[in-house]
A and B are shown apart, each in its own frame.
Chain A
Amino acid sequence: MHHNGSSRILVIGGGFSGLTAAVEAAETGSEVIIVERNPYLGGRVAQLNKYFPKICPPLCGLEINYRRIKVNPQVKFYTMAQVESISGAPGDYNVKIKINPRYVNENCTACNACAEVCPAERDNDFNFGLNKTKAIYLPFEQSFPLIYVIDRQACPKDCPAPCVEACKYNAIDLNMQSKTVEVKVDSIVVATGWKPYDAAKIENLGFGKVKNVITNMMFERLASKNGPTGGQILRPSDGKPVEKIAFVQCAGSRDENHLPFCSYICCLASLKHILYLKEQNPDAEAYIYYIDIRTPGRYEKFFNQVKDQGGVNLIKGKVAAIEQDSESDDVIVTVEDMINMQKIKQKVDMVVLATGMQPEGLEFKVPGIQYAIEGFVIDSDGIYAAGCAKSPMDVAGCGKDSTGAALKAIQIGIRR
Protein backbone atom coordinates (compact mmCIF):
# COMPACT_ATOMS: atom_id res chain seq x y z
CA MET A 1 0.00 0.00 0.00
CA HIS A 2 1.09 3.57 -0.40
CA HIS A 3 -0.16 7.09 0.32
CA ASN A 4 -0.15 6.50 4.07
CA GLY A 5 -1.23 2.93 3.67
CA SER A 6 -4.30 3.47 1.57
CA SER A 7 -5.44 2.97 -2.01
CA ARG A 8 -7.03 5.74 -4.03
CA ILE A 9 -10.20 4.68 -5.75
CA LEU A 10 -12.47 6.44 -8.19
CA VAL A 11 -16.09 5.33 -8.09
CA ILE A 12 -18.10 6.31 -11.14
CA GLY A 13 -21.75 6.51 -10.20
CA GLY A 14 -23.23 7.45 -6.84
CA GLY A 15 -26.23 5.16 -6.78
CA PHE A 16 -26.72 2.22 -4.48
CA SER A 17 -23.76 0.26 -5.87
CA GLY A 18 -21.39 3.21 -6.11
CA LEU A 19 -22.19 4.37 -2.58
CA THR A 20 -21.69 0.87 -1.25
CA ALA A 21 -18.36 0.42 -3.02
CA ALA A 22 -17.26 3.86 -1.83
CA VAL A 23 -18.12 3.55 1.85
CA GLU A 24 -16.93 -0.02 2.11
CA ALA A 25 -13.59 0.87 0.53
CA ALA A 26 -13.23 4.06 2.56
CA GLU A 27 -13.98 2.30 5.82
CA THR A 28 -11.29 -0.20 4.93
CA GLY A 29 -8.83 2.66 4.71
CA SER A 30 -8.94 3.80 1.08
CA GLU A 31 -9.38 7.31 -0.23
CA VAL A 32 -12.43 7.41 -2.45
CA ILE A 33 -13.80 9.90 -4.95
CA ILE A 34 -17.37 9.46 -6.17
CA VAL A 35 -18.44 11.01 -9.46
CA GLU A 36 -22.20 11.32 -9.88
CA ARG A 37 -24.03 12.74 -12.86
CA ASN A 38 -27.22 13.68 -11.01
CA PRO A 39 -27.41 16.62 -8.59
CA TYR A 40 -27.90 14.12 -5.77
CA LEU A 41 -26.54 10.77 -4.62
CA GLY A 42 -28.73 7.70 -4.33
CA GLY A 43 -29.33 6.97 -7.99
CA ARG A 44 -32.17 4.80 -9.17
CA VAL A 45 -33.15 3.45 -5.76
CA ALA A 46 -33.90 6.96 -4.53
CA GLN A 47 -36.86 6.89 -6.93
CA LEU A 48 -38.25 3.69 -5.47
CA ASN A 49 -41.12 3.80 -3.03
CA LYS A 50 -40.15 0.58 -1.23
CA TYR A 51 -37.83 -2.37 -1.65
CA PHE A 52 -39.03 -5.92 -2.05
CA PRO A 53 -39.38 -8.23 -0.19
CA LYS A 54 -39.45 -6.31 3.10
CA ILE A 55 -41.50 -3.40 1.76
CA CYS A 56 -39.13 -1.01 3.44
CA PRO A 57 -38.00 2.42 2.25
CA PRO A 58 -34.72 2.73 0.31
CA LEU A 59 -33.97 5.97 2.17
CA CYS A 60 -33.42 4.03 5.37
CA GLY A 61 -30.25 2.38 4.06
CA LEU A 62 -29.26 5.44 2.04
CA GLU A 63 -29.45 7.56 5.17
CA ILE A 64 -26.93 5.30 6.88
CA ASN A 65 -24.62 5.47 3.88
CA TYR A 66 -24.95 9.25 3.63
CA ARG A 67 -24.01 9.49 7.26
CA ARG A 68 -21.03 7.21 6.72
CA ILE A 69 -19.93 9.59 3.96
CA LYS A 70 -20.55 12.74 6.01
CA VAL A 71 -18.36 11.60 8.88
CA ASN A 72 -15.63 10.04 6.77
CA PRO A 73 -12.98 12.44 5.47
CA GLN A 74 -11.71 9.63 3.22
CA VAL A 75 -14.73 10.03 0.93
CA LYS A 76 -15.12 12.92 -1.45
CA PHE A 77 -17.91 13.26 -3.97
CA TYR A 78 -18.81 15.38 -6.95
CA THR A 79 -22.41 15.65 -8.06
CA MET A 80 -23.41 16.90 -11.54
CA ALA A 81 -20.12 15.51 -12.66
CA GLN A 82 -18.89 13.12 -15.28
CA VAL A 83 -15.65 11.48 -16.20
CA GLU A 84 -14.09 13.13 -19.25
CA SER A 85 -11.08 10.94 -19.70
CA ILE A 86 -9.10 8.16 -18.10
CA SER A 87 -5.44 7.62 -18.89
CA GLY A 88 -2.63 5.69 -17.30
CA ALA A 89 -2.49 2.19 -15.93
CA PRO A 90 -3.61 0.23 -12.88
CA GLY A 91 -2.08 1.83 -9.83
CA ASP A 92 -1.58 5.09 -11.68
CA TYR A 93 -4.66 6.43 -13.43
CA ASN A 94 -5.14 10.04 -14.36
CA VAL A 95 -8.80 10.98 -14.49
CA LYS A 96 -10.35 14.21 -15.70
CA ILE A 97 -13.69 14.99 -14.14
CA LYS A 98 -15.98 17.65 -15.53
CA ILE A 99 -18.24 19.28 -12.97
CA ASN A 100 -21.25 20.94 -14.49
CA PRO A 101 -22.63 24.11 -12.95
CA ARG A 102 -25.34 23.65 -10.37
CA TYR A 103 -25.85 27.42 -10.14
CA VAL A 104 -26.39 27.00 -6.40
CA ASN A 105 -23.44 26.72 -4.07
CA GLU A 106 -22.94 25.14 -0.69
CA ASN A 107 -24.25 28.20 1.13
CA CYS A 108 -27.73 26.88 0.31
CA THR A 109 -29.73 26.09 3.41
CA ALA A 110 -32.67 24.50 1.57
CA CYS A 111 -34.97 27.21 2.93
CA ASN A 112 -37.03 27.17 -0.30
CA ALA A 113 -37.29 30.99 -0.59
CA CYS A 114 -35.87 30.80 -4.15
CA ALA A 115 -38.40 28.28 -5.41
CA GLU A 116 -41.23 30.34 -3.93
CA VAL A 117 -40.41 33.27 -6.21
CA CYS A 118 -39.27 31.33 -9.26
CA PRO A 119 -41.63 32.03 -12.20
CA ALA A 120 -40.62 29.10 -14.40
CA GLU A 121 -41.44 25.41 -14.35
CA ARG A 122 -39.85 22.27 -15.73
CA ASP A 123 -40.85 18.66 -16.13
CA ASN A 124 -39.92 16.75 -13.01
CA ASP A 125 -37.56 14.10 -14.30
CA PHE A 126 -37.40 12.55 -10.85
CA ASN A 127 -41.10 11.73 -11.32
CA PHE A 128 -40.67 10.82 -15.00
CA GLY A 129 -42.41 13.97 -16.08
CA LEU A 130 -45.60 13.15 -14.23
CA ASN A 131 -45.53 16.59 -12.63
CA LYS A 132 -43.52 19.82 -12.62
CA THR A 133 -41.00 21.55 -10.43
CA LYS A 134 -39.80 25.12 -10.45
CA ALA A 135 -36.69 25.85 -12.50
CA ILE A 136 -34.85 26.08 -9.20
CA TYR A 137 -35.66 22.99 -7.25
CA LEU A 138 -34.66 20.39 -4.73
CA PRO A 139 -34.71 17.00 -6.50
CA PHE A 140 -36.61 15.45 -3.58
CA GLU A 141 -36.99 16.13 0.15
CA GLN A 142 -34.33 13.77 1.37
CA SER A 143 -31.81 14.63 -1.35
CA PHE A 144 -28.21 14.41 -0.39
CA PRO A 145 -26.59 16.85 -0.59
CA LEU A 146 -29.53 18.97 0.51
CA ILE A 147 -28.77 21.75 -1.97
CA TYR A 148 -31.06 23.23 -4.61
CA VAL A 149 -30.20 23.17 -8.28
CA ILE A 150 -31.19 25.25 -11.28
CA ASP A 151 -32.26 23.76 -14.58
CA ARG A 152 -30.94 26.62 -16.72
CA GLN A 153 -32.77 25.43 -19.80
CA ALA A 154 -36.00 25.97 -17.93
CA CYS A 155 -35.10 29.57 -17.03
CA PRO A 156 -36.89 32.14 -19.22
CA LYS A 157 -34.48 34.15 -21.36
CA ASP A 158 -35.26 37.52 -19.86
CA CYS A 159 -35.93 36.33 -16.34
CA PRO A 160 -35.16 39.02 -13.75
CA ALA A 161 -33.88 36.16 -11.55
CA PRO A 162 -35.93 36.84 -8.42
CA CYS A 163 -34.29 33.76 -6.93
CA VAL A 164 -31.01 35.63 -6.55
CA GLU A 165 -32.84 38.41 -4.73
CA ALA A 166 -34.71 35.98 -2.51
CA CYS A 167 -31.64 34.06 -1.37
CA LYS A 168 -30.27 35.49 1.84
CA TYR A 169 -27.26 33.25 1.82
CA ASN A 170 -25.52 34.20 -1.36
CA ALA A 171 -26.07 30.70 -2.58
CA ILE A 172 -27.19 31.40 -6.13
CA ASP A 173 -24.60 32.08 -8.78
CA LEU A 174 -26.05 32.27 -12.27
CA ASN A 175 -22.62 32.75 -13.76
CA MET A 176 -21.29 29.51 -12.41
CA GLN A 177 -19.17 27.76 -15.05
CA SER A 178 -18.35 24.15 -15.53
CA LYS A 179 -14.92 23.18 -14.34
CA THR A 180 -12.60 20.27 -14.78
CA VAL A 181 -10.63 18.64 -12.01
CA GLU A 182 -7.90 16.09 -12.40
CA VAL A 183 -7.36 13.28 -9.96
CA LYS A 184 -4.89 10.42 -9.64
CA VAL A 185 -6.18 7.05 -8.56
CA ASP A 186 -4.98 3.46 -8.31
CA SER A 187 -8.17 1.83 -9.46
CA ILE A 188 -11.68 2.50 -10.68
CA VAL A 189 -15.08 1.07 -9.84
CA VAL A 190 -17.71 1.60 -12.51
CA ALA A 191 -21.16 1.69 -10.96
CA THR A 192 -23.09 3.60 -13.58
CA GLY A 193 -26.20 1.48 -13.17
CA TRP A 194 -29.16 1.41 -15.48
CA LYS A 195 -32.10 3.30 -16.84
CA PRO A 196 -35.58 2.07 -17.63
CA TYR A 197 -35.82 0.71 -21.14
CA ASP A 198 -37.69 3.11 -23.40
CA ALA A 199 -41.14 1.51 -23.49
CA ALA A 200 -42.12 3.50 -26.57
CA LYS A 201 -39.80 1.26 -28.57
CA ILE A 202 -42.04 -1.76 -27.92
CA GLU A 203 -44.58 -1.16 -30.66
CA ASN A 204 -47.42 -3.44 -29.60
CA LEU A 205 -47.56 -2.32 -25.97
CA GLY A 206 -49.02 1.08 -26.67
CA PHE A 207 -46.81 3.20 -24.43
CA GLY A 208 -47.13 6.86 -25.34
CA LYS A 209 -50.09 6.10 -27.61
CA VAL A 210 -52.66 4.46 -25.37
CA LYS A 211 -53.81 6.40 -22.33
CA ASN A 212 -53.07 4.86 -18.93
CA VAL A 213 -50.25 2.65 -20.05
CA ILE A 214 -47.33 3.44 -17.76
CA THR A 215 -44.02 1.84 -16.82
CA ASN A 216 -43.09 0.12 -13.57
CA MET A 217 -40.79 2.99 -12.58
CA MET A 218 -43.62 5.47 -13.13
CA PHE A 219 -45.75 3.26 -10.93
CA GLU A 220 -43.13 3.56 -8.19
CA ARG A 221 -43.50 7.32 -8.33
CA LEU A 222 -47.30 7.14 -8.31
CA ALA A 223 -47.17 5.01 -5.18
CA SER A 224 -44.64 7.25 -3.44
CA LYS A 225 -45.85 9.71 -0.87
CA ASN A 226 -43.44 12.27 -2.33
CA GLY A 227 -44.57 11.45 -5.86
CA PRO A 228 -46.87 13.38 -8.20
CA THR A 229 -50.10 12.10 -6.65
CA GLY A 230 -49.02 12.22 -3.02
CA GLY A 231 -48.85 8.45 -3.04
CA GLN A 232 -52.33 7.78 -4.31
CA ILE A 233 -52.42 5.26 -7.11
CA LEU A 234 -54.59 7.11 -9.60
CA ARG A 235 -54.54 6.62 -13.31
CA PRO A 236 -52.95 9.52 -15.16
CA SER A 237 -55.70 10.35 -17.70
CA ASP A 238 -58.53 11.13 -15.30
CA GLY A 239 -57.30 10.49 -11.76
CA LYS A 240 -59.59 7.53 -11.31
CA PRO A 241 -58.58 5.14 -8.50
CA VAL A 242 -57.29 1.92 -9.99
CA GLU A 243 -59.42 -1.16 -9.49
CA LYS A 244 -58.28 -3.43 -12.28
CA ILE A 245 -54.68 -3.45 -13.28
CA ALA A 246 -52.57 -5.45 -15.70
CA PHE A 247 -48.83 -6.03 -15.47
CA VAL A 248 -47.01 -6.94 -18.63
CA GLN A 249 -43.82 -8.76 -17.72
CA CYS A 250 -40.69 -8.81 -19.85
CA ALA A 251 -41.69 -5.57 -21.52
CA GLY A 252 -38.57 -5.37 -23.60
CA SER A 253 -36.60 -7.89 -21.59
CA ARG A 254 -35.79 -11.40 -22.85
CA ASP A 255 -36.42 -10.09 -26.32
CA GLU A 256 -33.75 -10.13 -29.03
CA ASN A 257 -35.25 -6.98 -30.54
CA HIS A 258 -34.95 -5.06 -27.31
CA LEU A 259 -33.04 -6.31 -24.25
CA PRO A 260 -31.86 -9.87 -24.79
CA PHE A 261 -31.27 -10.58 -21.12
CA CYS A 262 -33.65 -10.94 -18.18
CA SER A 263 -33.73 -7.80 -16.06
CA TYR A 264 -33.91 -9.79 -12.82
CA ILE A 265 -36.09 -7.45 -10.80
CA CYS A 266 -39.25 -6.93 -12.85
CA CYS A 267 -41.19 -9.99 -11.63
CA LEU A 268 -40.47 -9.05 -8.05
CA ALA A 269 -41.23 -5.39 -8.77
CA SER A 270 -44.66 -6.19 -10.21
CA LEU A 271 -45.48 -8.41 -7.24
CA LYS A 272 -44.46 -5.54 -4.98
CA HIS A 273 -46.64 -3.17 -7.01
CA ILE A 274 -49.61 -5.40 -6.35
CA LEU A 275 -48.96 -4.95 -2.63
CA TYR A 276 -48.85 -1.16 -3.08
CA LEU A 277 -52.21 -1.26 -4.79
CA LYS A 278 -53.76 -3.78 -2.41
CA GLU A 279 -52.82 -1.57 0.51
CA GLN A 280 -54.88 1.24 -0.99
CA ASN A 281 -57.58 -0.92 -2.48
CA PRO A 282 -57.82 -4.43 -1.03
CA ASP A 283 -60.45 -5.41 -3.59
CA ALA A 284 -58.30 -4.49 -6.57
CA GLU A 285 -57.93 -7.13 -9.23
CA ALA A 286 -54.49 -7.66 -10.75
CA TYR A 287 -53.45 -9.62 -13.83
CA ILE A 288 -49.85 -10.56 -14.42
CA TYR A 289 -48.94 -11.73 -17.90
CA TYR A 290 -45.60 -13.48 -17.75
CA ILE A 291 -43.23 -15.93 -19.42
CA ASP A 292 -41.72 -17.25 -16.18
CA ILE A 293 -42.15 -15.87 -12.69
CA ARG A 294 -38.62 -15.34 -11.52
CA THR A 295 -38.43 -15.03 -7.77
CA PRO A 296 -35.23 -16.91 -7.02
CA GLY A 297 -34.09 -18.20 -3.65
CA ARG A 298 -35.81 -16.86 -0.57
CA TYR A 299 -37.85 -14.49 -2.74
CA GLU A 300 -40.21 -17.43 -3.28
CA LYS A 301 -41.72 -16.54 0.06
CA PHE A 302 -42.52 -13.07 -1.20
CA PHE A 303 -44.10 -14.55 -4.32
CA ASN A 304 -46.33 -16.73 -2.15
CA GLN A 305 -47.21 -13.81 0.09
CA VAL A 306 -48.49 -11.82 -2.90
CA LYS A 307 -50.08 -14.77 -4.69
CA ASP A 308 -52.07 -15.64 -1.59
CA GLN A 309 -53.77 -12.26 -1.57
CA GLY A 310 -57.12 -12.47 -3.29
CA GLY A 311 -57.48 -11.08 -6.77
CA VAL A 312 -54.04 -11.88 -8.11
CA ASN A 313 -54.29 -13.61 -11.48
CA LEU A 314 -51.14 -15.12 -12.95
CA ILE A 315 -51.38 -15.90 -16.63
CA LYS A 316 -48.52 -17.40 -18.57
CA GLY A 317 -48.95 -15.71 -21.85
CA LYS A 318 -47.77 -13.26 -24.39
CA VAL A 319 -49.37 -9.87 -24.76
CA ALA A 320 -50.26 -9.37 -28.41
CA ALA A 321 -51.78 -5.92 -28.25
CA ILE A 322 -52.73 -3.08 -25.94
CA GLU A 323 -55.49 -0.78 -27.13
CA GLN A 324 -57.66 2.04 -25.94
CA ASP A 325 -61.22 1.13 -25.07
CA SER A 326 -63.45 2.91 -27.58
CA GLU A 327 -65.83 4.29 -24.96
CA SER A 328 -63.61 5.10 -22.02
CA ASP A 329 -60.08 5.69 -20.81
CA ASP A 330 -59.85 2.00 -19.99
CA VAL A 331 -57.28 -0.19 -21.66
CA ILE A 332 -57.87 -3.49 -23.43
CA VAL A 333 -55.09 -6.06 -23.27
CA THR A 334 -55.06 -8.95 -25.74
CA VAL A 335 -53.15 -11.99 -24.52
CA GLU A 336 -52.42 -15.48 -25.75
CA ASP A 337 -52.83 -17.73 -22.70
CA MET A 338 -50.16 -20.36 -23.31
CA ILE A 339 -51.45 -22.96 -20.88
CA ASN A 340 -55.11 -22.87 -21.82
CA MET A 341 -54.30 -22.18 -25.47
CA GLN A 342 -56.76 -19.36 -25.86
CA LYS A 343 -56.87 -15.71 -26.69
CA ILE A 344 -58.06 -13.45 -23.87
CA LYS A 345 -59.19 -9.86 -24.02
CA GLN A 346 -59.00 -8.16 -20.65
CA LYS A 347 -60.31 -4.68 -19.90
CA VAL A 348 -58.41 -2.87 -17.13
CA ASP A 349 -58.12 0.63 -15.68
CA MET A 350 -54.39 0.82 -16.11
CA VAL A 351 -51.54 -1.18 -17.58
CA VAL A 352 -48.07 -1.29 -16.04
CA LEU A 353 -45.29 -2.33 -18.37
CA ALA A 354 -42.61 -4.16 -16.42
CA THR A 355 -39.84 -2.58 -18.43
CA GLY A 356 -36.33 -3.76 -17.88
CA MET A 357 -32.91 -2.39 -17.13
CA GLN A 358 -30.99 -0.85 -19.93
CA PRO A 359 -27.40 -0.55 -18.78
CA GLU A 360 -26.38 3.12 -18.85
CA GLY A 361 -23.36 1.98 -20.82
CA LEU A 362 -25.46 1.29 -23.88
CA GLU A 363 -25.94 4.96 -24.70
CA PHE A 364 -23.70 6.72 -22.22
CA LYS A 365 -20.17 5.42 -22.36
CA VAL A 366 -17.45 6.56 -20.00
CA PRO A 367 -14.32 7.20 -22.06
CA GLY A 368 -11.64 4.67 -21.24
CA ILE A 369 -14.02 1.95 -20.11
CA GLN A 370 -14.65 -1.23 -22.10
CA TYR A 371 -18.21 -2.28 -22.83
CA ALA A 372 -19.93 -5.41 -24.06
CA ILE A 373 -22.38 -5.07 -26.91
CA GLU A 374 -25.44 -4.77 -24.62
CA GLY A 375 -23.75 -1.95 -22.73
CA PHE A 376 -22.49 -3.82 -19.68
CA VAL A 377 -19.05 -2.91 -18.42
CA ILE A 378 -16.24 -5.40 -19.00
CA ASP A 379 -13.72 -5.65 -16.16
CA SER A 380 -10.07 -5.10 -16.85
CA ASP A 381 -7.11 -5.03 -14.52
CA GLY A 382 -7.70 -2.00 -12.32
CA ILE A 383 -11.20 -1.23 -13.58
CA TYR A 384 -14.11 -3.12 -12.07
CA ALA A 385 -17.83 -3.02 -12.73
CA ALA A 386 -20.22 -3.09 -9.79
CA GLY A 387 -23.93 -3.73 -9.64
CA CYS A 388 -26.20 -3.23 -12.63
CA ALA A 389 -23.40 -1.77 -14.75
CA LYS A 390 -22.15 -5.33 -14.81
CA SER A 391 -25.32 -7.38 -14.99
CA PRO A 392 -28.97 -6.92 -14.06
CA MET A 393 -29.39 -7.67 -10.37
CA ASP A 394 -31.47 -6.87 -7.34
CA VAL A 395 -30.47 -4.34 -4.68
CA ALA A 396 -29.16 -7.00 -2.32
CA GLY A 397 -27.09 -8.40 -5.17
CA CYS A 398 -25.72 -4.92 -5.90
CA GLY A 399 -24.69 -4.61 -2.27
CA LYS A 400 -22.61 -7.73 -2.33
CA ASP A 401 -21.29 -7.20 -5.83
CA SER A 402 -20.08 -3.69 -5.11
CA THR A 403 -18.50 -4.74 -1.82
CA GLY A 404 -16.56 -7.35 -3.81
CA ALA A 405 -15.65 -4.76 -6.45
CA ALA A 406 -14.36 -2.50 -3.67
CA LEU A 407 -11.99 -5.25 -2.56
CA LYS A 408 -10.66 -5.76 -6.07
CA ALA A 409 -10.07 -2.03 -6.32
CA ILE A 410 -8.28 -1.97 -2.97
CA GLN A 411 -6.04 -4.85 -4.01
CA ILE A 412 -4.63 -2.78 -6.89
CA GLY A 413 -3.29 -0.27 -4.41
CA ILE A 414 -1.85 -3.01 -2.23
CA ARG A 415 -0.15 -4.75 -5.10
CA ARG A 416 2.03 -1.78 -5.88
Chain B
Amino acid sequence: MPEVPAARRPSGELEAQVLAALWAAHQPLTPQDVQLALGGDLARTTIATILARLHDKGTVARTRVGRAYAYTPTVRDPAGLAARRMRTELDREEDRSTVLARFVSDLSDDDERLLRELLGEQPDTREVNGP
Protein backbone atom coordinates (compact mmCIF):
# COMPACT_ATOMS: atom_id res chain seq x y z
CA MET B 1 0.00 0.00 0.00
CA PRO B 2 1.31 3.44 -0.80
CA GLU B 3 2.36 5.48 2.19
CA VAL B 4 0.99 8.71 0.79
CA PRO B 5 -2.80 8.89 0.58
CA ALA B 6 -4.03 9.01 -2.99
CA ALA B 7 -5.65 12.41 -2.58
CA ARG B 8 -2.38 14.04 -1.54
CA ARG B 9 -0.28 12.69 -4.34
CA PRO B 10 0.46 15.15 -7.15
CA SER B 11 -2.06 14.85 -9.96
CA GLY B 12 0.69 14.12 -12.49
CA GLU B 13 1.63 11.00 -10.59
CA LEU B 14 -1.90 9.60 -10.79
CA GLU B 15 -2.19 10.60 -14.42
CA ALA B 16 1.02 8.75 -15.17
CA GLN B 17 -0.25 5.59 -13.47
CA VAL B 18 -3.57 5.68 -15.30
CA LEU B 19 -1.88 6.37 -18.62
CA ALA B 20 0.61 3.56 -18.04
CA ALA B 21 -2.27 1.17 -17.35
CA LEU B 22 -3.95 2.16 -20.62
CA TRP B 23 -0.76 1.60 -22.59
CA ALA B 24 -0.11 -1.75 -20.94
CA ALA B 25 -3.58 -3.03 -21.79
CA HIS B 26 -4.29 -4.45 -25.17
CA GLN B 27 -7.85 -3.17 -25.40
CA PRO B 28 -9.80 -0.03 -24.44
CA LEU B 29 -10.41 0.29 -20.70
CA THR B 30 -13.37 1.73 -18.82
CA PRO B 31 -12.74 3.57 -15.54
CA GLN B 32 -13.71 0.36 -13.76
CA ASP B 33 -11.16 -1.63 -15.78
CA VAL B 34 -8.49 0.91 -14.91
CA GLN B 35 -9.42 0.67 -11.25
CA LEU B 36 -9.04 -3.11 -11.40
CA ALA B 37 -5.77 -2.85 -13.30
CA LEU B 38 -4.36 -0.53 -10.66
CA GLY B 39 -5.32 -2.90 -7.87
CA GLY B 40 -8.37 -1.04 -6.55
CA ASP B 41 -6.16 1.59 -4.96
CA LEU B 42 -8.02 4.62 -6.26
CA ALA B 43 -11.66 5.62 -6.19
CA ARG B 44 -13.43 5.10 -9.50
CA THR B 45 -14.56 8.74 -9.53
CA THR B 46 -10.94 9.84 -9.21
CA ILE B 47 -10.00 7.62 -12.12
CA ALA B 48 -12.90 8.93 -14.19
CA THR B 49 -11.75 12.51 -13.50
CA ILE B 50 -8.20 11.70 -14.51
CA LEU B 51 -9.37 10.00 -17.68
CA ALA B 52 -11.54 12.98 -18.56
CA ARG B 53 -8.57 15.29 -18.04
CA LEU B 54 -6.33 13.10 -20.23
CA HIS B 55 -9.07 13.12 -22.86
CA ASP B 56 -9.23 16.93 -22.74
CA LYS B 57 -5.51 17.04 -23.42
CA GLY B 58 -5.89 14.69 -26.36
CA THR B 59 -3.68 12.11 -24.68
CA VAL B 60 -6.38 9.46 -24.81
CA ALA B 61 -9.33 8.77 -27.10
CA ARG B 62 -12.64 7.39 -25.90
CA THR B 63 -15.55 5.44 -27.27
CA ARG B 64 -18.88 4.88 -25.59
CA VAL B 65 -19.40 1.35 -24.30
CA GLY B 66 -22.86 0.99 -22.84
CA ARG B 67 -23.17 3.64 -20.14
CA ALA B 68 -19.45 4.22 -19.68
CA TYR B 69 -16.59 5.41 -21.84
CA ALA B 70 -13.73 3.13 -22.81
CA TYR B 71 -10.34 4.80 -23.24
CA THR B 72 -7.31 4.08 -25.41
CA PRO B 73 -4.06 6.04 -25.61
CA THR B 74 -3.78 8.02 -28.82
CA VAL B 75 -0.96 7.59 -31.28
CA ARG B 76 -0.64 10.62 -33.45
CA ASP B 77 0.91 9.39 -36.64
CA PRO B 78 3.08 10.22 -38.49
CA ALA B 79 4.53 11.73 -35.34
CA GLY B 80 4.87 8.22 -33.93
CA LEU B 81 7.11 7.31 -36.83
CA ALA B 82 9.25 10.36 -36.18
CA ALA B 83 9.63 9.23 -32.59
CA ARG B 84 10.82 5.84 -33.70
CA ARG B 85 13.37 7.37 -36.02
CA MET B 86 14.63 9.67 -33.29
CA ARG B 87 14.99 6.77 -30.93
CA THR B 88 17.03 4.84 -33.41
CA GLU B 89 19.34 7.81 -33.64
CA LEU B 90 19.51 8.00 -29.86
CA ASP B 91 20.45 4.35 -29.72
CA ARG B 92 23.43 5.09 -31.87
CA GLU B 93 24.96 7.33 -29.26
CA GLU B 94 27.95 5.57 -27.86
CA ASP B 95 27.71 6.68 -24.29
CA ARG B 96 24.28 7.76 -23.23
CA SER B 97 24.99 7.91 -19.54
CA THR B 98 25.98 11.55 -19.66
CA VAL B 99 22.49 12.96 -19.24
CA LEU B 100 19.82 10.32 -19.38
CA ALA B 101 19.46 8.14 -16.33
CA ARG B 102 18.09 4.91 -17.74
CA PHE B 103 16.04 2.52 -15.68
CA VAL B 104 18.12 -0.53 -16.55
CA SER B 105 21.50 -0.98 -18.12
CA ASP B 106 22.57 -3.83 -20.37
CA LEU B 107 22.88 -7.34 -19.02
CA SER B 108 25.63 -9.83 -19.55
CA ASP B 109 24.71 -13.52 -19.81
CA ASP B 110 25.84 -14.04 -16.22
CA ASP B 111 23.74 -11.10 -15.09
CA GLU B 112 20.71 -12.57 -16.76
CA ARG B 113 21.11 -15.93 -15.06
CA LEU B 114 21.80 -14.30 -11.70
CA LEU B 115 18.78 -12.08 -12.10
CA ARG B 116 16.46 -14.98 -12.86
CA GLU B 117 17.78 -16.74 -9.78
CA LEU B 118 17.25 -13.68 -7.60
CA LEU B 119 13.72 -13.28 -8.88
CA GLY B 120 13.01 -16.99 -8.64
CA GLU B 121 11.80 -16.82 -12.19
CA GLN B 122 11.56 -19.58 -14.76
CA PRO B 123 13.40 -18.80 -17.98
CA ASP B 124 11.33 -16.55 -20.21
CA THR B 125 8.03 -16.34 -18.44
CA ARG B 126 5.97 -13.38 -19.41
CA GLU B 127 3.65 -11.80 -16.93
CA VAL B 128 0.31 -11.06 -18.49
CA ASN B 129 -1.22 -7.84 -17.39
CA GLY B 130 -4.66 -7.29 -15.94
CA PRO B 131 -7.63 -6.48 -18.11
Please indicate whether A and B come from the same complex rather than being unrelated chains: no
Give B contacts to A, CB under 8 Å.
none
